[in-house]
Amino acid sequence: MNRDSLNRILDLARWAPSGDNTQPWRFEVVDDHHIRVHGFDTRDHVLYDYDGHPSHIAHGALLETLRIAASGAGLKTTWTVASQGEHRNPIYDVKLVSDPALVPDPLVDCIETRTVQRRPMKTTALTPAQRQALMAAAGDSFSLQIFETPGERRQVAGLLWDSARIRLTCPEAFPVHKAVIEWKARFSKDRIPEQAVGVDPATARLMQWVMQSWGRVEFFNRYLLGTVAPRIQLDLLPGLRCAAHVLVRPKHPPTKLEDWIDLGMAVQRIWLTATHCGLYLQPQMTPVIFRWYARAGRRFSTAPQMGEQALAVTANSSKLLMPRRATILDSSPGWVSHRCPTAAHSGWTFLS
């Protein structure tokens, strides 16, 4: 393999998703068959990067994307990880070996077309084939819990609504939101472009103005019901108007770094499979993250009501985890690690 092929693989790999588009990795090309990925996390300044786990999930998504991309060039991928302590800077050594018998992964064409869909979508029911494909993509270590009926979707939308209140009123989340949106942009190199946020242009202008300072946000929230418009647009309507919510559940609670990486690999396979099936998807990790804080008894905000609200989100998400339907593959009270709430039938365009 020559350097051009390697560059093409890396070019595809960098399309991997990461929380808030932080891309917590840097590539080092050791030689044409060896890439060293220097992982990092953002736990010191991003409220959502709980113990770096969302970044570890992103590392997994990156490794899976690398594997799929390399398969398109007839290369088999193996990797090892070296990491210590709190896993702040894991180093992944990825080796690429030519394998004439290797069949290119059918998901390779979806790497660049995968999107985050944060707007309301069609409610056309998932077909049995789509449901089956998503479940198969999760692999043996994970099960999928799918919420499809209007009642189930209402319940999930309610959870997202409550979780969004924390997100929008938590002072510690404000600097994260302020830094992450690239206003008036359709594309962004390292942030979330305005057009992907999921609000209409008028709300975007208002948000941009309000988000200049925490004082403005507090004033709006307190006197002008400031969280209502974004919560309706970003959480309630997309939560109700979708085909299904999909919850990825590890069969065993993740404990080691490798468990989080596996989870990220599964998430990316499910996401690319959704794209392959003509579905759109939005990951929603914030309810899960607030649940992590609440269950660990960890305070994440100086605002006193945040802890109570996180406990309420935790109680409501626990209700959702109860098995109710035949489609639930694994009913063990596993640990929620990722929520992928919106999937829609094909044909829906989401950028205005």
Contacts with ligand FMN by CB under 6 A lie at 17-21, 54, 57-58, 61, 115-116, 118, 192, 282-286
Q: How far is the CB of 19 from ligand FMN (least distance, A)?
A: 4
Q: How far is the CB of 22 from ligand FMN (least distance, A)?
A: 8
Q: How far is the CB of 57 from ligand FMN (least distance, A)?
A: 4
What is the Cα 165 distance to its own chain's centre? 19
Q: How far is the CB of 83 from ligand FMN (least distance, A)?
A: 18
| In contact, 42 and 56? CB cutoff 8 Å | no
Enumerate residues 6+ apart whose C-beta is below 8 A from 5.
Answer: 73
Sign of the CA dihedral with 294 first, then 288, 66, and 179 last: negative
Q: How far is the CB of 101 from ligand FMN (least distance, A)?
A: 32
Q: How far is the CB of 152 from ligand FMN (least distance, A)?
A: 20
Minimum CB distance to ligand FMN smaller for 131 or for 339? 339
The overall longest dimension of the chain from CA atoms, in Å, is 66
Minimum CB distance to ligand FMN smaller for 132 or for 346? 346
**What is the CA angle 275-278-284, rounded to 5?**
50
* Residues pairing with 92 in the sheet: 37, 81
Minimum CB distance to ligand FMN smaller for 117 or for 130? 117
Minimum CB distance to ligand FMN smaller for 54 or for 239? 54
Q: How far is the CB of 102 from ligand FMN (least distance, A)?
A: 26
What is the DSSP secondary structure assignment for residue 281, as one 8-state letter? B
- Which strand ranges, in their side-by-side order, compose the sheet holding 142-147? 142-147, 244-250, 338-343
Of all residues in the shown chain, the one whose CB is closest to ligand FMN is: 17
Minimum CB distance to ligand FMN smaller for 18 or for 309? 18
Minimum CB distance to ligand FMN smaller for 72 or for 283? 283
Of 220, 229, 244, the residue nearest 161 (C-alpha): 229
Cβ contacts of 35-38, under 8 Å, gap ≥ 24: 35/6, 35/10, 35/66, 35/93, 35/94, 35/96, 36/91, 36/92, 36/93, 36/94, 37/62, 37/63, 37/66, 37/91, 37/92, 37/93, 37/94, 38/89, 38/91
Q: Are strands 181-182 and 91-98 parallel, antiparallel or unpaired?
A: unpaired
Minimum CB distance to ligand FMN smaller for 75 or for 145? 145
